[in-house]
């Protein structure tokens, strides 16, 4: 059973909001005791998905949670938008696939930088992306 | 108005990114650098990212775009000072920073740019690689 120790929600609508998400994820991962490398990996993953929330989802919110289960602590990020959704999640997860003129690295790269990565999307209703990274022992 | 300063040092333009850039600021830097390259006829661009604690795909693409535009304008781009944790993350993210040369610090970066310019001759070598 995953317990949420701390939870905050940030708006993700402007490029400045993406910077705020990065800073909050940096602070949370540092507080949990992530190594500098692991902090940087998860902050980078958060930056990619926050940008997707704006560019593809038309903006949304990011929920940033400090969590624990069975003696492990970690940080969970939930990005939610009410945009057009992702028609083909499998395709979106392929390296180099992009509909937005980007490099197509955001989704697959963020998955590699996380321990757990879930995408739920309903075309026409929006997308929810969940990322978890645990503190390594 | 936020702005990242661009300094002319010898035959080079020097940029040190000291803040967590949002995407619009990164785009503005790309445009400013291109304009200054034409104005100053500089032959090199040195970008110091030692203060950056993250390079994501957008910033990575900006760096690649700058290098590509500089090449078209007959200038070499060298990125210096990447932190180890940023380098590790970049590789795992899958970014290759196409067309970008790197050096450990500003001194070595300037030396590299000067060698590259000297190898081409003072007037430039057009499309030579």
Scanning B83-102 for CB atoms below 8 A from A yields 84-86, 88-89, 92-95
How many contiguous H segments (helices) and E segments (strands) does chain B have? 4, 5
Classify residue B128: in a domain, yes or no. Answer: no
Q: What pLDDT was estimated at residue A94?
A: 84
Instruction: Tell me the mean pLDDT in the region B107-128.
Output: 80
| Domain count of the fold of chain B | 1
Classify residue B125: in a domain, yes or no. Answer: no
Q: Please give the structure tokens belonging to residue B93.
A: 């993210």
How remote is the C-alpha of B60 from its chain's centroid?
Answer: 11
Q: Does B129 have pLDDT greater than 50?
A: no
* B51 close to A (CB below 8 A): no
Helix B84-93, helix A36-55: angle, nearest 10: 50
Helix or strand or coil: residue B78? strand
Q: Does B126 have pLDDT greater than 60?
A: no
Size of interface A-B (CB pairs under 8 A): 72
The CATH code of the domain that includes B18 is: 3.30.750.24
Q: What pLDDT was estimated at residue B108?
A: 97
Q: What pLDDT was estimated at residue A93?
A: 85
Domain extent, residue B111, equals 6-120
Chain A residues within an 8 Å CB radius of B87: none
Q: What pLDDT was estimated at residue B1?
A: 56
Q: Which of A15, A37, A105 sits opposite B57 (nearest CB)?
A: A105
**CA–CA distance, B44 with A87 (Å, rounded to integer):** 44
Classify residue B22: in a domain, yes or no. Answer: yes
The CATH code of the domain that includes A75 is: 3.30.565.10
A26: nearest CA partner in chain B:
B53
Q: How far is A36 from chain B (nearest CA, A)?
A: 7
What is the reported pTM?
A: 0.91
Task: Answer yes or no: do B95 and A105 touch at CB < 8 A.
Answer: yes
**CA–CA distance, B2 with A92 (Å, rounded to integer):** 34
* B39 close to A (CB below 8 A): no
Domain extent, residue A27, equals 3-134
Q: Which of B57, B84, B93 sits opposite A102 (nearest CB)?
A: B57
- 10-residue block means of pLDDT along chain A (137 residues)? 94 97 98 97 97 94 96 96 88 80 79 96 94 94
pLDDT of B47-61, one tens digit each? Answer: 999 999 999 999 999
| Domain count of the fold of chain A | 1
ipTM of the complex: 0.89
Q: What pLDDT was estimated at residue A88?
A: 83
Task: Answer yes or no: do A109 and B95 touch at CB < 8 A.
Answer: yes
Classify residue B126: in a domain, yes or no. Answer: no
């Amino acid at each position: 059973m995953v317990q949420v120790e701390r939870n905050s929600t940030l708006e993700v609508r402007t490029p400045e909001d993406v910077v705020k998400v990065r800073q909050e994820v940096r602070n949370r991962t540092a507080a949990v005791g992530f190594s500098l490398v692991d902090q940087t990996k998860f902050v980078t993953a958060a930056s990619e998905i926050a940008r997707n929330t704006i560019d593809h989802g038309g903006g949304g919110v990011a929920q940033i949670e400090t969590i624990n289960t069975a003696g492990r602590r970690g940080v969970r990020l939930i990005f939610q938008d009410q945009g057009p959704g992702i028609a083909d999640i499998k395709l979106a997860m392929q390296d180099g696939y992009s509909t937005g003129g980007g490099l197509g690295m955001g989704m697959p790269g963020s998955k590699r930088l996380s321990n757990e990565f879930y995408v739920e999307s309903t075309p026409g209703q929006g997308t929810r992306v969940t990322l978890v990274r645990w503190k390594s022992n | 108005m936020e702005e990242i300063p661009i300094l002319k040092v010898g035959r080079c333009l020097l940029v040190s990114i000291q803040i967590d850039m949002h995407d619009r600021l990164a785009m503005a830097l790309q445009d400013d650098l291109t304009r200054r390259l034409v104005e100053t006829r500089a032959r090199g661009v040195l970008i110091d990212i030692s203060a950056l604690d993250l390079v994501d795909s957008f910033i990575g693409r900006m760096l690649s775009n700058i290098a590509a535009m500089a090449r078209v304008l007959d200038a070499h781009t060298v990125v210096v000072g990447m932190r180890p944790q940023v380098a590790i993350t970049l590789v795992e993210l899958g970014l290759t920073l196409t067309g970008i040369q790197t050096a450990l610090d500003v001194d070595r970066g300037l030396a590299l740019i000067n060698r590259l310019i000297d190898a081409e001759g003072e007037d430039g070598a057009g499309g030579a690689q």
